[in-house]
Structure 1
């Protein structure tokens, strides 16, 4: 089949490469426009744009699917549209322009965690399982019939970054299987069933740690917002990014927010067990082991995380 692919971040690249390696033909890629990156604001193409250029696939750069973009896509005479984290809405008439419409790879077990940040919310909620779903794109948010689904456990130390990388690759295989079934006419669409939960895009404030919560809630939040938008707390008036934590089960409790060095462990009090700080990123310095950060503070001083 002739396929138009829409995607932008690194998590969409495995699906693009898998489709390019399949018996189908990706006739064009739609991705977001180049954006300023880094301290110098260098205009940088999306990871999908870079991959498409490597593969020799024409690229359409657009932050919004305007009438002009829709007309350009329509002229491709595609059989199917495949979308993976494009970052924009597909509306009519573009939604119905390919012969078979559009399918979407979503990184959750729909209908749980509909929205922009499904992996982040699954981890923050303490879910033990998640997965990937390919569904028929419809106007309502992530509500179309399911064409394929796979599940995977969530490890107790997994972050959004490494879980999303895992799902991006297993999800790419799922996309190809669904496209193959659509091409052969054997695809079976199933309505979504179960409780709907929403996964809105995270803000910087979502990364702020509330030390009055339980250790499990805090550990899940740190994992869920890593690498983006990133977990943080304030210590001595300075912002401290928290990169990795563990629940210090068996350690004596500490008052929420109190920081203490016990042996080689840097512990912070919560509503339950202390949290061990494993690695941190102090303001104006490089990321480091938490014990090294603590040793670099003025000796004999206490501290609180707020």
Structure 2
């Protein structure tokens, strides 16, 4: 089935900043986005001010019809969605959809996922790819079906992961690459040139599939007994959010949380394993398993994020502390 670009009616569903780039790319390439579905407004922060999603902010600025359902199976929402008469739905970083929603448009519903499916199915593909030390990741568009992240693949694009790239760096690069892939996918659908493949065709005979489940606070605590490369990968894979952390202990035995955002591996280990120390000027170090980590960006509990030099300006007695192992 082919359809003229100007006649194609698209509903876009997404919530965070990652999704805005894809929506913006469709709008700026003159596609007819007739509606946007995003998360409901909610209170956030200490003052509990109402927070709106980045996708909502962009949609409102562009004057696009906006839907913010609490429940995706609510009759009122389904009626409003059907009234938009969309031919195609595009999903980028949104909730799991019920079948009644993703089956609604004649041309289907496709999703942009932040990995080379079927690898890293799940909620946190960027984080886990970096945590696992992958040198490459990518983006995938696929049509939705019943099981999450399992639909037939439309297109994929690869991208490298640098040895010191954080999840935040990969996120920002992937956001742009993903938007380009969304545009290419919509172009193909519009021209009736889509050929999909089942995900099992992308798996080698002895390839093991790696999951990307949601990350919880207990997953973020650093295990210093792991090889130094794994610790470094975990820190960058959780940076800037939800952030890897450890605890340091003062001479009186009191523990204080320490978030770590950016590190560098130094393979010399001059200090005993588990020692946290500094040069009292501009560098903080932790002697780990197989090497030393230089901590470049960190945050003490109750304080703001700062460089190692800024940290040491207000923390003169670090060498008296121990690492909680």
- Normalised to the residue count of structure 2, the TM-score between the two structures is 0.89
Q: 4+ runs of 1 displaced by more than 3 Å?
A: 253-256, 262-265, 294-301
Alignment correspondent of 1:91: 98
Q: What CA deviation, in whole Å up to 9, does each residue of 1:209-242 have, x standing for no partner?
A: 1111111111111111111111111112111111
The residue aligned with 2:5 is none
Q: Tell whether the 8 Å contact from 2:277 to 2:319 is kept in structure 1 after alignment.
A: no
Name the structure 1 match of 2:295.
277
1:25 Cα shift? 0.6
Shift of 1:15: 0.4
Which of 83, 102, 108 is equivalent to 1:101?
108
Task: Return closer, same or farther for 1:291/1:79 CA change in 2, 3 Å cut-off.
Answer: same
What SS does structure 2 have at the residue aligned with 1:103?
A: strand
Aligned pair partner of 1:199 in 212, 217, 223: 212
Choose the corresponding residue for 1:24, options 22, 31, 35.
Answer: 31
Q: Residues 65 and 89 of structure 1 are in contact (CA less than 8 Å); yes or no, is this contact kept in structure 2? A: no
Equivalents in 1 of 2:102, 2:60: separation in Å? 25
Equivalent position SS for 2:288: coil
**How far is the alpha carbon of 1:197 from its aligned partner?**
2.3
Structure-to-structure mapping, 1:236-275, within 5 angstroms? 236=249, 237-249=255-267, 251-262=268-279, 264-275=282-293
Q: Retained in 2: the 8 A contact 1:254–1:270?
A: no
Q: CA deviation at 1:295?
A: 5.1
The count of aligned residue pairs is 304
1:184 aligns with 2:191: yes
* Aligned-pair Cα RMSD in Å: 1.7
Answer yes or no: is the 8 Å Cα contact 2:282–2:312 preserved in 1: no
Is the contact made by 1:222 and 1:245 (CA closer than 8 Å) also made in structure 2?
yes
What is the distance in 1 between the residues matched to 2:315 and 2:245?
A: 18
- Residues 1:215 and 2:250 are matched in the alignment: no
Counterpart among 145, 149, 152 of residue 156 in structure 2: 149
| Unaligned ranges ≥5, structure 1 | none
- The offset of 1:120, in angstroms, is 0.3
CA contact (8 A) 1:64 1:89 kept: no
SS in 2 for 1:286: coil
1:104-183 mapped onto 2 (5 Å cutoff): 104-183=111-190
Give the deviation of 1:49 after TM superposition.
Answer: 0.4
In structure 2, list runs of 5 or more residues that go unmatched.
1-7, 250-254
1:79 maps to 2:96: no
Say whether 1:51 aligns with 2:58: yes
SS in structure 1 at match of 2:222:
coil
| Greater CA drift, 37-46 or 288-297 | 288-297
Change (3 A) 1:301 1:254: closer
Give the secondary-structure state (helix, strand or coil) at the position aligned to 2:236.
helix
Is 1:233 equivalent to 2:240 in the alignment?
no
**Separation in structure 2 between the aligned mates of residue 190 and residue 124 of structure 1, nearest angstrom:** 28
Larger displacement relative to structure 2 (109-118 or 14-23): 14-23
> In structure 2, the residue corresponding to 1:93 is in which secondary structure?
helix
What residue number does 1:12 align with? 19
CA contact (8 A) 2:278 2:318 kept: no
Asked if the contact 2:278/2:319 (under 8 Å) is kept, the reply is no
